[in-house]
Amino acid sequence: MKLILINCFILICLQNQFLAKPVPLEDGVLLLQIADNYSAPLVASFLHSRIENTVKMVEELKKSLENLSENQRNLFILKVKSLEALDKRLNALQKTDYFAINGTERVKYSIEQYILNNEMFPIELRPEEGKFNSTPDYLLKQINVMSNDDLIKETNNLIKAHLQDIETKESNEKYNELQKLTASLTKRKLNPLVNFKYSDPVIQRNHYGDQTSITDNRPSQIESVLRQFKNILDLFYPQFENLANQSVPPASLKPVNSEVELGALRALKIFQ
């Protein structure tokens, strides 16, 4: 009886620890870390709980999002079915006391399957890449591969495409005021990037006037712009979807001064 109470106490402590780590992949990594310190059946029970919670989270997220493409919706369905199959197998193993002998290695294998599931079926709220001609990640790989002039052109075109997408969201009546405010503030962060003034290459010449070398700082500038661009997109799209079911009191929809707007900007973590 005393052992059962101790195990229950440990399980509650672990649950509280996991509540502070909502990302499933991090959950799996943490489970691997604790597998060496706690009994395998207890860790298996907690893995079962995490799988159930992840399934519930994915299903609730799918219901809350209105603008999922067919591919994104299918990914949600596939992820849930994959997790349910993993949980069914785990339950069958638990019933046969599979984790009672050499349990640590066996439960670690099950945890690794859970981690693999999250790697294979990630839930991303960003727009599908097919909607745009390229991605910041792809363009980052083209630095020192593609010519600087072409890369700057591709970067500006991609930023403009996302700006157009964000402006469409800002003006669409089906989105709430918080979503529109987020879109407006994000536009402000993107505008300096699309209008960024890249430095001209500096040609070095000897005293005869012959060219000896060229100093071109544009690759580092392009990289800086693309990384800022990527960070802004990674923040905006998930945040925009998360604000779908939130609203603000009518009084707060009045025109705001720059100080209040700056406060909202910080609150939305656009500056971070």
What is the structure's pLDDT at 272?
41
What is the structure's pLDDT at 232?
92
What is the structure's pLDDT at 90?
93
What is the structure's pLDDT at 33?
85
SS (H, E, C) the chain: CHHHHHHHHHHHHHHHHHHCCCCHHHHHHHHHHHCCCCCHHHHHHHHHHHHHHHHHHHHHHHHHCCCCCHHHHHHHHHHHHHHHHHHHHHHHHHHCCHHHCCHHHHHHHHHHHHHHHHHHCCCCCCCCHHHCCCCHHHHHHCCCCCCHHHHHHHHHHHHHHHHHHHHHHHHCCCCCHHHHHHHHHHHHHHHHHHCCCCCCCEEEECCCCCEEEEECCHHHHHHHHHHHHHHHHHHHHHHHHHCCCCCCCHHHHCCCCHHHHHHHHHHCCCCC
Q: Is the pTM of this model over 0.85?
A: no
What is the per-residue pLDDT across 217-254, written as a single tens digit (0 to 9) for each?
899 999 999 999 999 998 888 888 888 776 655 544 44
Q: What does the alpha-carbon distance between residue 267 and residue 272 come to, in Å, rounded to a whole number?
A: 10
> Which residues in the chain show pLDDT less than 70?
1-27, 64-69, 123-131, 133, 209-212, 246-272
Domain boundaries, the chain: 10-120, 129-267
Q: What does the alpha-carbon distance between residue 20 and residue 57 come to, in Å, rounded to a whole number?
A: 15
| Residue pointed to by tokens 């406060």 | 263
CA separation (Å) from 26 to 22, 30, 169, 249?
8, 6, 32, 36
| Residue pointed to by tokens 């609730």 | 60
